[in-house]
Copies of this chain bind each other. A is one copy, B any other.
């Protein structure tokens, strides 16, 4: 498949659809690195199997896996999941994978952003990241999709959300971080986003979730339910370090309009009631390796129900065994009356640094 030179999705009439639009399928990468996932990835693998199994009931789901784990992944996953070999540095396909685009004829292309493990040599989470940076290209080949490669622009899929109608949600904390595109101004970054995602307006939420190792990815903080309506991670506890972040975002969002001139409807979604901390046992299960972010006992994890994944007829929602789980489930049932809400106990994904949205990547519907 082709690397498209000298053009952009905007020029060629390709756009990134909203995640809530119809999908052709979903990709997931199998977790295994023992310096990020405890006990050689075994507990996380069980949760990934659960996530893939749920998604695969609703739409085609492909799990990408290293050659070393191929046979094990194939054995653990149900028959209706497709398993494809792909080397990787870790398992966050939302961030290193292709950002797929469609045109009005239903043809598929993709953006292939530069990936540097959430901050490169400044504050990246592991080294090297060479295999991850090739995953978008390899996904494009699997999907017979030509791609726009951005050699000079670092972005992760988890740092953007779109309504599919010209508006993009991002955070300043992430997109203006020192480890991504320090040579580019906010305006330059915004122009690249407009050109490569074919949007007309970028909404810059100041910050993401407290203690989020991705420099505050928007996908843990705020998501589109549909055009004009978002959910925002929230806490009423003014003493929680999350409070100021959520309040600032709320104030910003309720005072902005989107590309169509609409005022946004902002639904508050409470974060877990009790901070979710890494236990001693969990910490001890992770290999200690220089250059990889350590998982230390007592660290607060960036738990948020907003990190859910929307697919054909379902929402896969992370839950944590917290008092607020039920509230989140009920809230999403209200917001998505036509989709099944599928709660999945996701502590093992959270322990790796993200959640269900971070480990999934949609292929929009194509003809």
Contacts and interface: CB of A to CB of B under 8 A. Distances in A.
Interface of A: 1-2, 67, 70-71, 74, 79, 82-87, 131, 134, 137-138, 141-142, 144, 146
Given A67-B131, A74-B137, A131-B67, A1 B85 contact: no
B70 A134 contact: yes
A79 B83 CA distance: 25
Nearest to A134: B70
Given A71-B134, A137-B74, A138-B70, A85 B82 contact: no
| Among A138, A141, A142: residue with most chain B CB under 10 A | A141
A141 B84 contact: yes
Nearest to A137: B74
Given A84-B84, A84-B138, A85-B85, 4 more contacts: A1-B79, A2-B79, A70-B134, A71-B134
B141 A83 contact: yes
A82 B84 CA distance: 15
6 contacts: A1-B82, A67-B87, A79-B146, A82-B141, A82-B142, A85-B87
Contacts of A67: 87, 131
A1 B61 CA distance: 11
A76 to B, nearest CB: 14
Contacts of A134: 70-71
A322 B242 CA distance: 77
Contact of A84 (B71, B74, B79, B142): B142
B86 A85 contact: yes
Given A67-B131, A131-B67, A138 B79 contact: no
Given A134-B70, A134-B71, A138-B70, A144 B1 contact: no
A74 B82 CA distance: 24
Contacts of A86: 85
A71 B137 CA distance: 10
| Among A2, A87, A144: residue with most chain B CB under 10 A | A87
| Among A2, A79, A85, A134: residue with most chain B CB under 10 A | A85
A114 to B, nearest CB: 15
B85 A138 contact: yes
Nearest to A2: B79
Contacts of A85: 85-87, 138
Nearest to A135: B85
A87 B86 CA distance: 9
A74 B142 CA distance: 13
A126 B54 CA distance: 42
A323 to B, nearest CB: 41
A85 B67 CA distance: 10
Contacts of A74: 137, 141
Contacts of A144: 82
Contacts of A71: 134
A134 B75 CA distance: 13
A265 B146 CA distance: 47
Contacts of A142: 82, 84, 142
A97 to B, nearest CB: 14
A1 B79 CA distance: 5
